[in-house]
Amino acid sequence: MKLSDIADNAGSRKKRMRVGRGIGSGKGKTSGRGGKGQTARTGVRIKGFEGGQMPLHRRLPKRGFNNIFRLDFVEVNLDRIQQAIDAKLLDAGAVIDAESLVKSRVLRRAKDGVRLLGRGEIKAKVTIEVHGASKAAVAAVEKAGGSVKILAPAKPEAGEAA
């Protein structure tokens, strides 16, 4: 085999359609853009235009807002933690926190913190450190002989851009 023999597989690369090259090509004259006017041009596009009438998105009232300071917690249920303990992914003797949950692949990422929810039951005696927990989850963990420590949510420093 020579260097000049090397070629791509047949059909692996498709050539782009050359528009405006005669009616025989199927994309001649208007190049697939239809008739004349605004839609045949580049850049401008009629999206919410209603012939000069006030468009629907401007007729309807504005509502709600997005709180830029809202913390986004990852939720984890008790049955998922018990499942990880049974599979020996989590050590019941050690403190279970956001870092250990990510390391054991119970969670993909911690985001702004972890919130513990009470679905399922937990049999192991565990110490859990999370940023939030439901009353049912705390009661279930304490019933099994463990404890839940609620951490203060990580607030941005005063110097950081908000």
Q: Answer yes or no: are the C-beta atoms of 128 and 141 closer than 8 Å.
A: yes
In a domain, 141, yes or no: yes
Predicted local distance difference test score (pLDDT) of residue 162: 46
Q: Which of 60, 87, 85, 79 is nearest to 140 (CA)?
A: 79
Range of the domain at 142: 74-150
- pLDDT tens by residue, 26-58: 999 999 999 888 888 888 777 888 888 999 999
Residues 95, 96, 97, 102: is their CA dihedral positive or negative? positive
The tokens describing 4, both together, are 């000049």
Residue 153 pLDDT > 60: no
Residue with tokens 């504005």: 62
In a domain, 15, yes or no: no
- pLDDT tens by residue, 9-30: 999 999 999 999 999 999 999 9
Give how many domains the chain has, as a whole number: 1
In a domain, 158, yes or no: no
Question: Using CA atoms, how far apart are residues 40 and 43, in angstroms rounded to an integer?
Answer: 10
The pTM (predicted TM-score) of the whole model is 0.58
In a domain, 121, yes or no: yes
In a domain, 94, yes or no: yes
Domain containing residue 141: CATH number: 3.100.10.10
- pLDDT tens by residue, 62-81: 999 999 999 999 999 999 99
Average confidence score pLDDT of the chain: 89
In a domain, 20, yes or no: no
In a domain, 16, yes or no: no
In a domain, 8, yes or no: no
